[in-house]
Amino acid sequence: MRVDFEKGSRFNGLSVHDTVERCWRHLNFFKYPCFVTARVPRVKHSDGSVRMVEVPWGRPGSGFTLDFEAHALSLVGQMPVLAAAKELGIHDTRLWRLLRFHVNKAFEAQEIGCLKRIGVDETSARKGHDYITVLVDLDARRVLFACEGRTGVALSLFRQFLEFKGVDPDSVEDFSCDMSPAFLSGIEATFPRAKVTLDKFHLVAMLTKAVDETRKGESKQYKALQGTRWIWLKNPSNLNSSQQQTLKQFFLQNNFCLTAQAYGFKLQFQEIFSLRKKAAERLLNLWLENALESGLRHIEDVATTFFKRREMILNWFDSKISNGVLEGFHSVLQATKHKARGYRDPRNLITMSYLLHGKLNAITHYK
């Protein structure tokens, strides 16, 4: 498809100085690639500078029509970027540039509104490598901000982001996070007025790991524990009938094994969150006392950590927040990453995080 202009045409009241041949990739015509070519005029301004006229069907420097870019954005919402790039017949690097442009543009135009409760967590771009920190508005259930790394600097950058957006950072009342020292110190330094609620799912996960470590050590002498790993990783209600029967046998023994004792501490800790705050505080104190004197090394280590942060654990009874929203987001994001076989550049994971969960309005056509 070729586009041209009439001889003697003026653009923004300015006469044509010269022209440059340009080409844009357009939507396919059936299965055949389609391109738009044009002589793009350059006009001379009053200051003597010569500038190229912007065309209405494509943005400067893109090489794609706006219709093609809109189609590309819709494809990425349905399949991995590499697969979408193959479907479009372009290199995935060009598609990533296209995505980052529109996502960043929508991100800059994003309105924050009133902020009260924020969740912060980390996720990886590749297995064990290139982590990013994600901060989520827990009430609006959307990703607000993401950056590379998993240090306390992320909280400082988030505060600067809010100030740039015209939002008072001190309006944030509550944070939900795991027990990462970097996040905890970052929140304390940059959001001193906010309260921190330790994510109860991470707390239970720490105890689950302690139970598994106890099982690993004990199974070397107690053969009955071999092959029972998955029983101790789940709650009794999530076990099948055979697993429940096996678990029952462990607890029916007069001197039940250390793994069963550790498992009991985990179940008792979970009960704390089903009580009212005062009763929960009493049970937590009793739990800490018993756990610290249990003789179970891995349980004692977790209890020591919990004792130092018990006020942040009890904050849940006032805030009722957790990182459940973030875990759901990360699950979708990691599934997308898995399909793409990881991301070479952590910026790509940030882009996908905004695209999938930022509730951005990625507009490709402007009037």
Q: What's the average model confidence in pLDDT over 270-278?
A: 96
Least confident among 95-104, 119-128, 196-205, 252-261: 252-261
- The confidence score (pLDDT) of residue 367 equals 44
Q: Percent of the chain beyond pLDDT 90? A: 69
111-197+321-356: which CATH topology?
A: Nucleotidyltransferase; domain 5 (3.30.420)
Please give the average per-residue pLDDT across 150-169, as a whole number.
95
Q: What is the rounded average pLDDT of the residues 153-173?
A: 95
| pLDDT value, residue 256 | 67
Sorted by where each begins, the domain ranges of the chain are: 2-108, 111-197+321-356, 200-317
pLDDT at 207 over 80: yes
Evaluate if residue 35 carries a pLDDT over 80. yes
Whether residue 350 is predicted with pLDDT greater than 80 in this model: the reply is: yes
Residue 220, pLDDT score: 85
Residue, of 362 and 335, whose pLDDT is higher: 335
> What would the mean pLDDT of 320-346 be, rounded to a whole number?
85
The 10s digit of each residue's pLDDT in 293-323 is 999 999 999 999 999 999 999 999 999 999 9
- The per-residue pLDDT for 363 is 67
Query: What pLDDT score was predicted for residue 197?
Result: 98
Highest mean pLDDT among 46-60, 215-229, 283-297, 319-333: 283-297
Which two structure tokens, joined as six digits, stand for 173?
A: 């009342």
Please state the rounded mean pLDDT for residues 94-106.
93
What does the pLDDT average to over 84-106?
92
364 band by pLDDT with thresholds 50, 70 and 90: low
Residue 115 has pLDDT above 50, yes or no: yes
Query: Average of pLDDT values for 16-36?
Result: 92
Please state the rounded mean pLDDT for residues 271-299. 97
